[in-house]
Chain A
């Protein structure tokens, strides 16, 4: 009879392989897979056709309001690109979202934007879950609840790009800041919420705290044009309510933000900088009517007005900086109508207008253009809850070229937005 021979390592290998297959999951020591947070990945890609080249569009501006809001531009030595920046194919981002309870008292959420330029922490915050009296505290890096759209992520927007007032006044990320947020829901029959935020104040278009150095100074110890501001420097407050009338919900809100502005654009094509205080006023109204479980009509509008007061610095030539007192009172709105026919199809139109552009320099009202307009239309197909394809058309007459001539920019974009994993349900 032949003796079966098993080598000792093989014997152990078999033993453990066997153990791994017979032990139920909960008996395997140190098993922690049940503590893995909810993870989801959202891909946003688009195909864009414009009647202007990428080079042209990167130099366009809304005079007195904003520059570099479309296409790609360089800032602080980094190349920035807005969503759908280039003609042809765009990979806007891969958004990774992690979310879980921390302990009985907090949850933690992280949203990471992976782009070809690197990784950005879009949001990373803890939220209290155990505070009494209808209070909720949030801290970390977060999207402010200013207005209606600001706290929503790009993939939840009804259009592939932001309304003009957001883009022009606040940039593509809106008010997205490090800080804390406290919200209180009143114990009333009607929904009534008040919130306040203390934020660092580092928005690229409106708020900033860093000192502005004199670019013409040769002595590195020379006094800056504007000292750095105390931080935190941005304060936000808002009130929101909602009333149901049958199957229609009417949701109005008002918002206010005030903070220090230190905006250094001396590296730009036309070198300039601004130092002062800025206020942003907002009012929003959403009316949503549901026909049945899947079909609805939403009318959403927001109005914003900003008031920036301070000193403008310019560098007319290599050796000189000049300063002037400056006040910018600018206001605009967007209004949009979206109709969801059923679970598969949606269509919408949007109108943008920045109708006020009062710029006062050394107490003299400047002769500035206003009435910056854009119209957009879109149609969406949702094969399921987790995938969406959107065809959008924009007709934009808000932009001016370097010679101060109004441009007419037509854009067609086909956007794909695809999500996998365990993704939290969206708010109303």
Chain B
């Protein structure tokens, strides 16, 4: 019996460094970049699935059970799937409010905060649009929060986390300058989306979202609304439909057939498309998709 218990507990004991659970792949990449060799990152959600509807499968409970800390996106993006995992993980370290729990939304100014919170307006996020990592200018703010967080729970390696952050930022600055340069001519360009998940990206580069294929957030397309969108496209001539990878493109294709508008698949996270294997690759792809004519 003792031997069995020893074997069961062994994996946890072997990990001398921090075992950090994070909700989305982009947080995993940032945590790895800042944490370096001193953290193991366990990503809960898959990058090619809807971040609002992650399946709370029991294997994720096992991951929560063994985590030393939890980093989430916040802004209610995880409200539909993370709370049951926290409740069933039976691990005080991943409880909201614990010093080993980080909510990244707290360090970001959220946009599109609804003035009226009412579900008649769809499945809205009362705190504002939570897809803030798609503004590449927010990435250093998120990396900094993660560095401070890691330093606070692992003071011994504080200087390493700071150094990792510095080199990450230096690299990111160069990327930012490049993306700003290529996106500059696109200022004021009109776009259509399925769901407003590129709100921050659009704001960063001056793109204007004139319509969403969903009539309201979380409410699937209706024929009547689709006709409205077609009318709007004919009147305002947006460049394209920026479509996420996880909703069916059926309605978007129908709109394309009626109006001739382009449909561009826009990945929202690492792993959303097979070729997107890093944060840099994500924004390279997004900027290239819009400037490749």
A residues with CB within 8 A of B: 104, 127, 129-132, 134-136, 183-193, 240-244, 249, 251, 288, 290, 292-294, 342-344, 384-386, 420, 424-428
Q: Which of A131, A136, A292, A425 contacts B81 (CB 8 A)?
A: A425
Known contacts being A183-B90, A290-B55, is A425 close to B220, with CB within 8 Å? Answer: no
Known contacts being A184-B90, A343-B220, A425-B81, is A251 close to B58, with CB within 8 Å? Answer: yes
Binds A, one of B4-12, B169-177, B226-234, B277-285: B4-12
Within the complex, the shortest CB–CB distance from A103 to chain B, in Å, comes to 11
Contact: A191 with B123, CB < 8 Å? no
26 contacts between A and B (CB under 8 A): A130-B92, A134-B90, A135-B90, A136-B88, A187-B11, A189-B62, A190-B62, A191-B58, A191-B61, A191-B62, A242-B57, A242-B59, A244-B59, A293-B50, A293-B246, A342-B220, A344-B220, A384-B123, A384-B219, A386-B119, A425-B56, A425-B80, A425-B81, A425-B82, A427-B56, A428-B84
B12, B62, B119, B123, most chain A CB atoms within 10 A: B62
* Cβ of B83 under 8 Å from chain A: yes
Within the complex, the shortest CB–CB distance from A233 to chain B, in Å, comes to 27
Q: Chain A residues near B88 (CB, 8 Å)?
A: 136, 185, 193, 427
Contact: B84 with A424, CB < 8 Å? yes
Contact: B49 with A292, CB < 8 Å? yes
Contact: A187 with B12, CB < 8 Å? yes
Q: Which of B58, B79, B91 contacts A425 (CB 8 A)?
A: B79
Within the complex, the shortest CB–CB distance from B200 to chain A, in Å, comes to 21
Within the complex, the shortest CB–CB distance from A316 to chain B, in Å, comes to 52
Q: Chain B residues near A427 (CB, 8 Å)?
A: 56, 84, 88
Within the complex, the shortest CB–CB distance from A129 to chain B, in Å, comes to 5
Q: Return the chain B residue nearest A421 by Cβ.
A: B119
Measured in the bound complex, the distance between the Cα atoms of B197 and A51 in whole Å is 51
B residues with CB within 8 A of A: 8-9, 11-12, 49-50, 53, 55-59, 61-62, 65-66, 79-84, 87-92, 95, 97, 119, 122-123, 218-220, 246, 248
Measured in the bound complex, the distance between the Cα atoms of B226 and A215 in whole Å is 71
Q: Which of B8, B53, B61, B97 contacts A294 (CB 8 A)?
A: B53
Measured in the bound complex, the distance between the Cα atoms of B93 and A140 in whole Å is 25
Q: Chain A residues near B66 (CB, 8 Å)?
A: 187
Q: Which of A188, A191, A292 contacts B11 (CB 8 A)?
A: A188
Measured in the bound complex, the distance between the Cα atoms of B15 and A189 in whole Å is 13
Contact: B58 with A249, CB < 8 Å? yes
Measured in the bound complex, the distance between the Cα atoms of B78 and A424 in whole Å is 12
A135, A186, A241, most chain B CB atoms within 10 A: A186
Q: Which of B58, B59, B90, B246 contacts A131 (CB 8 A)?
A: B90
Q: Which of A185, A186, A251, A385 contacts B218 (CB 8 A)?
A: A385
A192, A240, A428, most chain B CB atoms within 10 A: A428
Within the complex, the shortest CB–CB distance from B138 to chain A, in Å, comes to 24
Within the complex, the shortest CB–CB distance from A297 to chain B, in Å, comes to 13
Q: Chain A residues near B61 (CB, 8 Å)?
A: 185, 191, 193
Known contacts being A187-B66, A420-B119, is A127 close to B87, with CB within 8 Å? Answer: yes
Measured in the bound complex, the distance between the Cα atoms of B119 and A385 in whole Å is 10
Contact: B246 with A292, CB < 8 Å? yes
Contact: B8 with A186, CB < 8 Å? yes
Contact: A192 with B62, CB < 8 Å? yes
Known contacts being A104-B97, A426-B84, is A242 close to B58, with CB within 8 Å? Answer: yes
Measured in the bound complex, the distance between the Cα atoms of B63 and A190 in whole Å is 9
Q: Return the chain A residue nearest B58 by Cβ.
A: A242
Contact: B95 with A129, CB < 8 Å? yes
Measured in the bound complex, the distance between the Cα atoms of B8 and A185 in whole Å is 11
Q: Chain B residues near A384 (CB, 8 Å)?
A: 119, 122-123, 218-219
Q: Which 3 A-B pairs have the closest CB atoms?
A: A242-B58, A293-B50, A191-B58
Q: Return the chain A residue nearest B122 by Cβ.
A: A384
Q: Chain A residues near B87 (CB, 8 Å)?
A: 127
Q: Which of B50, B57, B65, B84 contacts A249 (CB 8 A)?
A: B57
Within the complex, the shortest CB–CB distance from B126 to chain A, in Å, comes to 10
Measured in the bound complex, the distance between the Cα atoms of B61 and A307 in whole Å is 34
Within the complex, the shortest CB–CB distance from A218 to chain B, in Å, comes to 55
A187, A342, A386, most chain B CB atoms within 10 A: A187
Measured in the bound complex, the distance between the Cα atoms of B246 and A290 in whole Å is 13
